Amino acid sequence: MTAETIQPFRIGAEWRDGGGECIRSVYAGDGSVIGAVARATARDVDDAVEVAEKAFRTSPWRKLRPDVRATTLYEIGRRITAERQDLAHLQMLDSGKPLKECQHMVDNAAYFFRYYAALCETWQNEVTSPRGDYFSMSLAEPFGVVAAITPWNSPIMAEAQKVAPALAAGNAVILKPSEETPLLALQLARICSEAGLPEGLLTVLPGYGEDVGAALVKHPGVRMVSFTGGTDTGRAIAGVAGTRLIPVGLELGGKSPHIVFDDADFEKAVGGVLSGIFGSAGQSCVAGTRLFVQKSLYGRFVDALVERTKKVRVGLPDHPATQMGPLVSKAHRARVAGYVDIARQEGGRVLVGGGIPDDAKLANGWFYQPTVIEGLPNTARACQEEIFGPVLVCLPFEDEADVIAQGNGTVFGLAAGMWTGDYARAWRVARELEAGSVWINTYKQSHIATAFGGFKASGIGREKGFHGLRLYSQVKSVFFGMHDKPLGL
């Protein structure tokens, strides 16, 4: 693909060119346009849903034995791995993430297909103990057409996290990737088709959220919506889905507390806090954005953290030594910088960072310095709103009760982490934190088989693991009569 050509998308057998309208993908490392994809509109949604419904009803996919369906899913995983380098490179250009992170995301995308293939192989329905002359079983059935809507921060991985289980459960999927990062989703559609997925079961519509995304959520043929993105968008989608009475899976924003008790392993905690916020340049829903350090340790810990932050290597995504790449777009960098200004106005002291790096090599990209701020109360906007950038706020705390109250003191509940030498305390605090994932003496680990999702305004439902398969299935209970005599009144 070149920057001049417009890559079409496909609905069933038909290629669409967007009538000349396109979405450009810009490399955040230097601001250059690296490609353009035809832009889908709400009109394409009608056609895509019709094709997907037809594929769902007429292709053998939903009726295949799950272990047979698994063979196609394995093949998709195999092909993703075979194209690892090219996909990771494209991912880097599309999202601006460091190449190493992109390789990791491509690997994870392949794992999702392999994992859900394996679950298909071992999937069991429930048979209930009889309470009469019958036996009953509960079967998992697909919904039909599922709309999957994804954000820009982890392309291909976030998409595979939805597409793999939704297909494994027998659904047809229409995927709308973020307008910022449309390229990898189209590659995924190509790979699925080449791997033998029946036509029409996966359609990718690169378009705008308020147009294509909103039209998908409203469409009467769409029977389930799976969304990852911001909390406000999630709320709007849930409102429409509520009116339509269709199920939603929502993976939304976070403002995760990262807690350091005074008995923590100091070096490990510093490293954990650093990677928890500056990994992915803070563009991670689970980033540990609010650091709480016990008062007796606060000064020493924050000093050490600031020194380590100064050494974070901000650089071009394709440089092997780069630890932190650019932000996804110029507009997003302005948003992040705006939050740092707000923090200053609210009385925050910027201890390190707080601006654009002064490095000529990075001048054309959307870089921002890793930033540490202190002096704000937990009620400040920088402590309450998702910044989605490399900005950490530090707050001291007294004791367990104080940090639990402050940690839980936002609308979000996606993740939390803590560092302590006392496992009994870790267990107590973990149970009190309102968060879908809690890390103890580690941070940001994820496991393909471990449920992931949010409490409170961070989401509804769980992805990954067996929960992921359940999310895309509805349960049907079937009763088989074993009566010797006719039923009476």
Instruction: Point out the residues that are catalytic.
Output: 162, 251, 285, 463
Closest distance of CB 432 from ligand NDP, Å:
21
User: Does 451 engage in binding with ligand NDP (CB under 6 A)?
Assistant: no
User: Does 279 engage in binding with ligand NDP (CB under 6 A)?
Assistant: no
Per CB under 6 A, the segment of 49-57, 68-76, 250-258, 478-486 that binds ligand NDP is 250-258
375, 420, 372: which is closest to 274 by C-alpha?
372
Closest distance of CB 255 from ligand NDP, Å:
9
Closest distance of CB 437 from ligand NDP, Å:
10
User: Does 156 engage in binding with ligand NDP (CB under 6 A)?
Assistant: no
CA distances from 317 to 33, 209, 374 (A): 16, 27, 29
Strand-pair partners of 36? 6, 24
46 vs 422, beta carbon nearer ligand NDP: 46
CA distances from 412 to 254, 301, 384 (A): 5, 26, 9
Closest distance of CB 253 from ligand NDP, Å:
3
User: Does 149 engage in binding with ligand NDP (CB under 6 A)?
Assistant: yes
Alpha carbon distance 2, 20 (integer Å): 16
Closest distance of CB 307 from ligand NDP, Å:
29
Helix (H), strand (E) at residue 55: helix 42-58
Strand-pair partners of 337? none
Helix (H), strand (E) at residue 115: helix 99-122
Chosen residue from 44, 159, 179, 374 binding ligand NDP by CB under 6 A: 179
Alpha carbon distance 208, 139 (integer Å): 36
Helix (H), strand (E) at residue 173: strand 172-176
Written as six digits, the tokens of 346 are: 């609210």
Measured in whole angstroms, the distance separating CA 105 from the mean position of its chain's CA atoms is: 11
Neighbours of 402 (CB within 10 A): 14
10 vs 462, beta carbon nearer ligand NDP: 462
137, 129, 214: which is closest to 475 by C-alpha?
137
User: Does 251 engage in binding with ligand NDP (CB under 6 A)?
Assistant: yes
Cα(first)–Cα(last) distance of the chain, in Å? 71
247 vs 271, beta carbon nearer ligand NDP: 247
Residue with tokens 């880097």: 92
Chosen residue from 74, 152, 339, 419 binding ligand NDP by CB under 6 A: 152
User: Does 386 engage in binding with ligand NDP (CB under 6 A)?
Assistant: yes
Closest distance of CB 15 from ligand NDP, Å:
22
Q: Indicate the SS3 state at residue 110.
A: helix
User: Does 228 engage in binding with ligand NDP (CB under 6 A)?
Assistant: yes
User: Does 233 engage in binding with ligand NDP (CB under 6 A)?
Assistant: yes
Per CB under 6 A, the segment of 115-123, 165-173, 224-232, 319-327 that binds ligand NDP is 224-232
User: Does 217 engage in binding with ligand NDP (CB under 6 A)?
Assistant: yes
Footprint of ligand NDP (CB under 6 A): 149-153, 176, 178-180, 208-210, 213-214, 217, 228-230, 233, 236-237, 251-254, 285, 386, 388, 414, 454, 459
